[in-house]
A and B are shown apart, each in its own frame.
Chain A
Amino acid sequence: MESNGKTPVIDVNGITKVYQMGDIEVRALQGVSLKIYPGDLLAIMGPSGSGKSTLMNILGCLDQPTSGSYRLDGVDVEQMKEDQLAEVRNRKIGFVFQSFNLLRRTSAIDNVEQPMIYAGVGGRERRARAKAALEAVGLGGRLKHHSSELSGGQQQRVAIARSLVNNPAIILADEPTGNLDSKSGAEIMCLFQKLNEEKGIIIIFVTHDPRISEHCKRVIRIGDGMVISDTANADYTRACDDKALRVN
């Protein structure tokens, strides 16, 4: 990818990851280098066992590389301690999971407030920001609903609101449409595109679903722990039309 003179938000250089599983040494990543720039909307694709989950964990600061360097938003994270990583995750990264991972028996707004509690945001500001985030994903009318009272698509919107609320540099979405029907899936993709276009948030999908990658601007393919291809998506399309995109 061309840098276009911009500073990369994610700058990964030659990272490897080696697991010791009993006597066997598993080389999950064997020297991956990546640069991801502001405004990127990309899919990391690959079959299972390709190392894409490991890469996602490292990009998400849930795990650390065995070797190589990782610079996230100007901060070197490869040497950080557990609690420092927690802080980086809290402030710079939003997570969206396949199974939503909302807190049970907890209202939508309380779920969205969680990351701000860990960031030490005061109660009143927390409420306001959580409300704004839920409104941004089109759930302004369901603040008090518990996850059990929401559809799958709605639950994933709550999760997206939660990932947004600390104004992260990147959102990592792991198969975000995997548990949704195609209509809800398209709505969620549409929402991600809107966030990317309107707020400039970098969104990284980890998926093997081509329906996701066709809505991304860039596609990185991983195989055997290495980057196989890194291409701009010439066929980039919206998941929904412009009109729908503007509707909350």
Chain B
Amino acid sequence: MAAIFESVRLAIKTLGANRTRSVLTMLGISIGVGAVIALMAMGSGVQKYINDQFASAGSNLVTVSPGQLQRGPPGGGARAYLTENDYKAIVANAPNLVAHTAAVQAIGSLVSEGGTTQVPVFGVTPSFAVVRNWTVQRGRFIDDSDNGGRLRVIVIGTTIEKDLFGGADGIDQIVKLNNIPFRVIGVMQSKGSTIAGDQDAATFIPLTTAQNRVYQTQTTSPSGERTVSTILLQTTDEKVIPQVESVIRSTLRERHRLAEDAKDDFTIVNAAQLLSTLGSLVSVLTIFLGAIAAISLLVGGIGIMNIMLVSVTERTREIGLRKAIGAKRRTILSQFLVEAIVLSMLGGIIGVLLGTGIAVGVRYLVDFTPIVQASSISLAVGFSLVVGLFFGIYPAFRASKLNPIDALRHE
């Protein structure tokens, strides 16, 4: 132990004697390690960001929408809508539901004295807020009496409120949705942006109002039934999702009279599935970026080898002397190896600080918070140790093999 401490002390002293060169050599490793740490931190930051987004939406959420999202011609014939009766049948058949809602989703033109804006409009029932886990900041959400009376009331997101009313309170103001006057009854709690866009730009009106007053044509099937654009089901937990999905599928296929070999004319998406797809995408991306960063670590390692070889040549006489006064082969080998390792480890430690600094700094530039994980630090430091060992062994071996007589005569 004392011997190791002694050789590390000697190595630091020797490296300190050639400070500029040592620092420049370390820089290669520092940049590599820093890049690996910063990228890994950003990767896990994005991962967590996505997880949080879905957690706020609920990972036990199943969404049913009409049509197929897949490429190619739409399967199962021309029918690409879901009716209110489809919704009722699903709710009647599917087990393990905590909450459920059906909604109409459309685009509307919203006009107030302050301006005009195109917005997504949701025709909803009160359960929508429950299923989506959304709450109002001020006023109230759509309730049953709004739906019962097909009232022209609207709940808006904070972005819309700002767009239409500047900084002023939007509650009880009158806005025009597709030229129909609506009274603002509530402003949603801000949810921020997601990968799906600005969640605070949405508006909500009663489902019945949407179906009967604003979007009559879009919400009527060829046979005259009322349609919905999305059915949201919240299950008791993630494990029952496959079971719920199979019930939904059989119910809808039966109701839509799809042939055995026909494709679904509806799409079932669950958040957990989407989450894992996105999650694996992000981790692939993180690994890919990390691998690119690791290449610079490799280049840094070659820099260490280069400098160590130069150092061995420069210090040939020193090596000769050390051998003459009793240094054994392995003593010289370990001296140069320890120097290479100290160089790469110091570079690695600086890289950890650099990477952590970048990760902390990035927090102020992006929506997500990079997470520096202990595992990525130990990975990076461990890797720089291996780099030092791997690229240091050859120069050290060369040094240890020098013949003391020739080395002492070297000029």
**Which residues of A are in contact with B by a Cβ distance under 8 Å?**
57, 60, 62-63, 82-83, 86-87, 89-91, 95, 97, 101, 103-105, 114-115, 117-119, 123, 162, 166
Q: Cα distance A101–B321 when bound, in Å?
A: 7
Taken residue by residue from 84 to 102, chain B's Cβ proximity to chain A (1 for < 8 Å, 0 otherwise) reads as 0000000000000000000
List 3 A-B pairs, minimum CB-CB distance, nearest first.
A90-B326, A118-B326, A115-B325
Give 16 pairs: A residue, B residue, CB < 8 Å, sorted on A: A83-B328, A83-B329, A83-B330, A86-B323, A86-B326, A86-B327, A87-B326, A89-B324, A89-B325, A90-B325, A90-B326, A97-B321, A97-B408, A101-B321, A117-B6, A123-B2
Q: How far is the CB of A91 from chain B (nearest CB, A)?
A: 7
User: Is the CB–CB distance between A115 and B405 below 8 Å?
Assistant: no
Contact partner of A118 (CB less than 8 A), chosen from B17, B318, B320, B327, is: B327
A101 to B405, CA, bound (A): 13
How near does chain B come to A29, taking the closest CB pair, in angstroms? 14
| Contact of B318 with A103 in the complex, beta carbons under 8 Å | yes
Are B17's CB and A104's CB within 8 A?
Answer: yes
Q: Which residues of B contact A57 (CB under 8 A)?
A: 405
Of the listed residues B325, B327, B330, the one surrounded by the most CB atoms of chain A closer than 10 A to its CB is: B325
Query: A166 contacts which chain B residues (CB < 8 A)?
Result: 326
Residues of chain B in range 1-54 having any CB-CB distance to chain A below 8 Å: 2, 6, 17
> B322 at the A/B interface (Cβ < 8 Å)?
yes
A110–B240 alpha-carbon span in the complex (Å): 74
Indicate whether B152 reaches chain A with its CB closer than 8 angstroms.
no
Majority secondary structure of chain A interface residues (helix, strand, loop or mixed): helix
Determine how close the nearest CB of chain A comes to the CB of B118; give it in whole angstroms. 73
Residue B276 lies at the interface, judged by CB distance under 8 Å to chain A: no
In the complex, how many angstroms separate the beta carbon of B334 from the nearest chain A beta carbon? 12
Interface mask (B300-330 → A, CB under 8 Å = 1, otherwise 0) = 0000000000000000011011111111111
> Is A60 touching B326 in the complex (CB atoms < 8 A)?
no
Contacts of B370 in A (CB 8 A): none
B328 and A101 contact, CB distance less than 8 A: no
Q: A97 to chain B: which residues have CB within 8 Å? A: 321, 408
Nearest A residue to B330 via CB reads A83
Q: Interface code B228-262, partner A: CB below 8 Å = 1, 0 otherwise?
A: 00000000000000000000000000000000000
Give the distance to chain A from B69, nearest Cβ to Cβ, in Å. 70
- When C-beta atoms are compared, the residue in chain B nearest to A172 turns out to be B324
Which residues of chain A are near B322, meaning CB under 8 Å?
A: 114, 118
Q: What residues of A have a CB within 8 angstroms of the CB of B331 in the complex?
A: 118
Q: Is the CB of A119 within 8 A of B326?
A: yes
Residues in A whose Cβ lies below 8 Å from that of B329: 82-83, 86
In the complex, how many angstroms separate the beta carbon of A198 from the nearest chain B beta carbon?
23
B123 within 8 Å of A by Cβ? no
Residue contact A162 to B325, C-beta cutoff 8 Å: yes
Bound CA span A105–B314, Å: 14
B404 at the interface (CB under 8 A from A): yes
Q: Which residues of A contact B317 (CB under 8 A)?
A: 101
Shortest beta-carbon distance, B250 to chain A, in Å? 81
Given A83-B329, A101-B320, 20 extra CB contacts under 8 A: A57-B405, A60-B324, A83-B330, A86-B326, A86-B327, A86-B329, A87-B326, A87-B328, A89-B326, A90-B325, A91-B326, A95-B325, A97-B321, A97-B408, A103-B318, A103-B321, A115-B326, A118-B325, A123-B2, A166-B326
Smallest distance from the beta carbon of B401 to chain A beta carbons, Å?
A: 10
Within 8 Å by CB of B408, from A91, A101, A103, A118, lies: A101
Nearest CB of B to A14, in Å: 22
Min CB distance B317 to A, Å, is 7
Instruction: Give the CA-CA distance A91 to B330 in the complex, in Å.
Output: 18
A62 to B324, Cβ gap below 8 A?
yes
Instruction: Let me know if A95 and B17 touch, CB within 8 A.
Output: no
Most buried by A among B320, B323, B326, B327: B326
Task: Note all chain B residues with C-beta closer than 8 A to A62.
Answer: 324, 404-405
**A95 engages B328 (CB within 8 Å):** no
Nearest-neighbour CB distance to chain B for A46, whole angstroms, equals 18
A86 to B323, CA, bound (A): 7
Bound-state Cα–Cα, A103 to B335, Å: 14
Residues of the A chain whose Cβ atoms lie less than 8 Å from the Cβ of B324: 60, 62, 89, 95
Contact with A along B52-94 (1 / 0, CB 8 A): 0000000000000000000000000000000000000000000
CA distance A18 to B261 in the complex (A): 93
Chain B residue numbers with a CB within 8 Å of A91 are 326
Give the distance to chain B from A117, nearest Cβ to Cβ, in Å: 7
Q: Which residue of A lies closest to B326 (CB)?
A: A90
In angstroms, Cα B6 to Cα A103, docked, is: 17
Within the complex, the shortest CB–CB distance from B312 to chain A, in Å, comes to 15
List chain A residues, Cβ under 8 A from B325: 89-90, 95, 114-115, 118, 162
Contacts of B320 in A (CB 8 A): 101
For the complex, what is the distance from the CA of A115 to the CA of B71, rounded to whole Å? Answer: 78
- Docked complex Cα distance between A83 and B327 (Å): 8
CB–CB A86/B17 < 8 A: no
Q: Separation in Å of the B245 CB from the closest CB of chain A? A: 73
Q: How far apart sit A95 and B318, CA to CA, in the bound complex (Å)?
A: 14
Contacts of A117 in B (CB 8 A): 6
Complex Cα spacing A104 to B323, Å: 16
Q: What is the CA–CA distance of A194 and B2 in the complex, to the nearest angstrom?
A: 37
- What's the Cα separation between A89 and B404 when bound, in Å? 12
CB-CB under 8 A from B318, the residues of chain A are 103-104
Report the minimal beta-carbon distance from A225 to chain B, rounded to whole angstroms: 17
Considering only CB atoms, which chain B residue lies closest to A163 in the complex?
B325
